[in-house]
Chain A
C-alpha cells in the first residue's frame, strides 16, 4: 500500500492503495464515483473510460500510480456549474440509452473525439467509436447524438467568437 495523490474533476484526493491497483477501482470504491464502470477489465469495451490530458483512457488497465497528479475527468465532471455538457444534453435529446450501462464509455469517448475533431465525418465517428461497445446496440442513436452535440458545440463557438469579435471592435 502507498499514498497516492489524485486530481479528479478538479478536486484533490489522497488514497492509500497498492500502486498497481487499476484506476477504475480507486475511482469507484475509494472516491465513490460511479460513471466509470467495469465491463471487461481488459481494455476492450470502453465502459471504464475517463479522460486524462484530453485522451480517452480505459481506467480498468491503468495502474493508479501512473496517473498521479494528472487531471482526471469522469462522467460526473463533464457538467459545468450544473449545466450538462452538450454531449450529455444530446444524449437526452436523442434519448440514446437503453440500459445505459455502456453510456459512460460512449459519452467520454465521444468527448475526447470531439475535443480533437469538432466536425467529424460519419466515417470518422464510426472509426473513432468502433471499440466502444454497446450490447443493447444503441449505436445508431449514439452516432446521431454525437452529430447533434458537434453542431451545438460548433455553433456555440461561433457565437462566442462573434461576440469576442464585436467586443474588440467596441
Chain B
C-alpha cells in the first residue's frame, strides 16, 4: 500500500493508489492505505504541487468540479504561474487525504477565492525552481529565463535545465505562510494577468473524453470486494413515527442480510442491488401519523407564509425616506410575487459507498464538500477524524445537494453496522420528494413614480420559508441524523435575499424575513443550498417589478434601468455599477433591442411575441439578459426562442468553457421559470418522479443562445484584473427576463413562478388576451 507521501518520494505516478497514470485527471481510487489519514499541511509546498522527472506536474486542489470545468481552469491558472505547458499538467481534486482542505465547492467561489492561493503556490514553486537553476548555473536568478518548464541562461541558451531535472522526484521542502488555507502564500509575487499564456485560451476539459467513452469511474461505480447493497425505507408521511417493523416480511427475499433501524431511520441490506430494492418495497413497517399537519398544501403555501410569525426578521435597510416619498409620489404601484419550493432533483439520486476495512472508514462519494462529509461522519459515528477519509469522485449535478450529503452519512453508518462495505442509493421517488429544496419566497413590493416617471421610492419585503437551512454536512443536520432523533439546539436561521442591483433610487426600504413551516425536523421540505439558493427568487420579484414601474412610466425597460444606473456617479470597489452599464449595453446591442415601452400592442393570431430584459449581479459577477418569447394564447405555452446574456466575471480563464457553463445555467433558469415546483399535500410531498416534477426538456430548448463575454472594468487592461465566480449568476435574472417578455408579448404580468401552461392560460383568459 502506498500513501501520498510515498509516491511523492518515489516520484512516479505509476504507484498503487492512483488508477490513471500520466497526464489528465488522476483519481485516487481503491488501494486504501492503512490510515490514519491526517490533514495535509497546507503550509508545505509539497502538499500542493508535485513535479516529476519527466517534467510534468500535478496540482492537488481541495476543491471539487461539479461539471463546470473548474479542474481545467485550475490547471490553466497554475500552469501559467508556474510557466509550464498546460498539457504537462494534471490535477487531483477533493480527496481528503491527498488534497488540502479547501472546503470542497460551493458559492461559485472556486476561482474567485481559492484561485489565489493556487496561483500563489504555483508562483512560489516557480521561484524555488529558478533559485535551484541559478545555483546550478552560478548566475543570478535575474539572468534566467523560463519557458515551458525549461530554465535557461538568457545570455547562453545552451545552458538549460528542465524543472523535472531540478526537482523531479524530490520534495520542495519549502514552508509557506498564511493564517488559513485561503491566505496560503510563499514569497513570490503573482504575475500580471497580461503575462498569462494559457489563461484566456480554451483547452478542452480533460474530464470529457472519459465521460463520453464510458471509461470514467464515478462515485456510482465504486465497488470493492465484499460490498453489499442497501436501500432506505422512508416514512410515508412527513413527521411519522416508527411503531414497529415486521422483519418476517422480507425473510424470504433472496440475498437478504439485515434490517437496520434506529429511531425513524430504516434501511434494508441485501447481497445484490435488485434484492435490496425488492426488500425495501416489501418490508412491512408500521408508522404513526403525526398529530398535526406538517405543512400546508402547496396551494396554500403563500397564504400560510404571509400569515406566519417570522422566525427571524432582519433590521430593515432604509435609505432616504421611503414612506414620505411613497406618500408624495404621483403614482404608487404595489405587487406580490410568489416563488414556490424548487428541488434539486438531480438526474441521479443520492448515493455513496463506504468501506470500514482496517478500522478506518473510506467513503467513495460525489460530495462537493468532501471535507465536510469527513468531519461530519467522524462526529456522527464518534470516530477520530483522521480515521475517516472521503474519496471524491464525479457524480450527477451536485450544485448544493451534496452539501447535505445524506447518502454519504448513511453508507458510513451502515458500513459500521454491517462491518463490511455497503453501497447505498436512493430511489427516484425518495430523491425527488426528500432532497433539499430551494426556499419558497413571498415578496411584496411597492414603488413610487414622480410626475415625470422617475422612480423615487422602492420597498421590498421578502419572506422566505428557509428556517433550519441545511448545507454544510453537519452531523446533526443530515436526514439520517434527524430521523435518528438528533436535533441541534440552534437550527440554522436561514435567509431571505435582497435584490442585487446598482440602481440609484433615492428612497428605499429592504425588509427580509424568514418563516418556518410547522414541521422543522425530519421534513421533506428541508431547504438547502441550490444552484443559487435564493437569487432567482429575489431577482424575479425585483426585476419584474422594475419592469412594471417602467411600463407605468411609459418608458422603455432598458432606458428606465439605464437611467437608474447612470443617476449616481459613485461606484463600489469592484466597479459593479460601471460593469452593470457595460453588460446592459452589450446585451442590448447583441439582441438588437427595439426601444419602446412594453407591452407591444397585441397582434392577431395564436402566437404572440415579445422581449424582456433583466439584470443583476452575484458577488462581483454581473449579468444582463434578454429573452425573446413566443406565447401561445390557445395553449398558454411559453417558448423562449432566443436568449442573449451579457456576462462580466472579470478575468476569463477559459472562454469556451465559460460559454457552456453560462448556456447551461441559463437553461436551468429557464427550467425554474417554466416548470419547476415542489407539490405537496398536508401529509407528504407529492412530487415523486419526472411526471409529477417536470423539468425543462430538449423540446423547450431555445433556437438560439448568445453569450457575450464582457470586460466592463473601467481599466480593462489592469494587471490585477480579478477572476470572479461564474457558476450561478447567469440564472438569477432569467425568470424575470422571461416574465418581462411575456408581459411585452401579452400585456399580462406573471407574478407566480413557474409559468406552466395552465397557469399562463388562466392568466391570459382572466385578462381576456
Residues of A within 8 A of B (CB): 1, 17-18, 21-22, 25, 28-29, 32-35, 37-42, 44-45, 47, 74-76, 78-79, 84, 88, 91-92, 95-104, 107, 122, 125-127, 129-143
Q: Residue B636 at the A interface, CB < 8 A?
A: no
Q: Which of B220, B398, B664 has the most CB of A within 10 A?
A: B664
Residues in B with CB closer than 8 Å to A76 are: 213-215
Whether the Cβ atoms of A88 and B698 lie closer than 8 Å is no
Residues in B with CB closer than 8 Å to A143 are: 698, 701
How many angstroms from the CA of A136 to the CA of B208 in the assembled complex? 14
Given the interface contacts A135-B346, A136-B397, does A130 sit within 8 Å of B698 by beta carbon? Answer: yes
> How far apart are A127's CB and chain B's nearest CB, in angstroms?
7
Residues in A with CB closer than 8 Å to B104 are: none
Whether the Cβ atoms of B214 and A99 lie closer than 8 Å is no
List the B residue with the shortest CB-CB distance to A94: B660
Residues in A with CB closer than 8 Å to B68 are: 98
Q: Residue B471 at the A interface, CB < 8 A?
A: no
How many angstroms from the CA of A133 to the CA of B397 in the assembled complex? 12
Whether the Cβ atoms of B663 and A39 lie closer than 8 Å is no
Residues in A with CB closer than 8 Å to B218 are: 34, 37, 101
Q: Which of B78-86, B689-697, B760-768 contacts A (4 or more CB under 8 A)?
A: B689-697
Given the interface contacts A101-B395, A131-B697, A143-B701, does A91 sit within 8 Å of B212 by beta carbon? Answer: yes
> How far apart are B105's CB and chain A's nearest CB, in angstroms?
12
Q: Residue B705 at the A interface, CB < 8 A?
A: yes
Q: Residue B349 at the A interface, CB < 8 A?
A: yes
Given the interface contacts A38-B425, A74-B214, A107-B212, does A97 sit within 8 Å of B67 by beta carbon? Answer: yes
Whether the Cβ atoms of A38 and B348 lie closer than 8 Å is yes
Given the interface contacts A42-B689, A91-B208, A99-B397, does A140 sit within 8 Å of B663 by beta carbon? Answer: yes
Whether the Cβ atoms of A135 and B698 lie closer than 8 Å is no
> How far apart are A79's CB and chain B's nearest CB, in angstroms?
6
Q: Which of B204, B212, B273, B395 contacts A99 (CB 8 A)?
A: B395
Whether the Cβ atoms of B428 and A25 lie closer than 8 Å is no
Residues in B with CB closer than 8 Å to A137 are: 664-668, 670-671, 696
Q: Which of A40, A103, A125, A127 contacts B690 (CB 8 A)?
A: A40
> How far apart are A49's CB and chain B's nearest CB, in angstroms?
12
Q: Which of A1, A22, A44, A127 contacts B699 (CB 8 A)?
A: A127
Q: Which of A75, A84, A141 contacts B663 (CB 8 A)?
A: A141
Q: Which of B212, B273, B667, B695 contacts A97 (CB 8 A)?
A: B212
How many angstroms from the CA of A134 to the CA of B668 in the assembled complex? 10
Q: Residue B299 at the A interface, CB < 8 A?
A: no
Whether the Cβ atoms of B347 and A45 lie closer than 8 Å is yes
Whether the Cβ atoms of B428 and A42 lie closer than 8 Å is yes
Not counting A130-B697, A140-B663, a sample of 17 additional A-B residue pairs whose C-beta atoms are within 8 angstroms of each other reads A28-B221, A39-B396, A41-B427, A42-B690, A75-B212, A75-B213, A84-B213, A96-B212, A96-B660, A97-B208, A98-B660, A101-B395, A127-B699, A130-B698, A130-B699, A135-B397, A137-B666
> How far apart are B678's CB and chain A's nearest CB, in angstroms?
15
Whether the Cβ atoms of A98 and B274 lie closer than 8 Å is no
Q: Residue B209 at the A interface, CB < 8 A?
A: yes
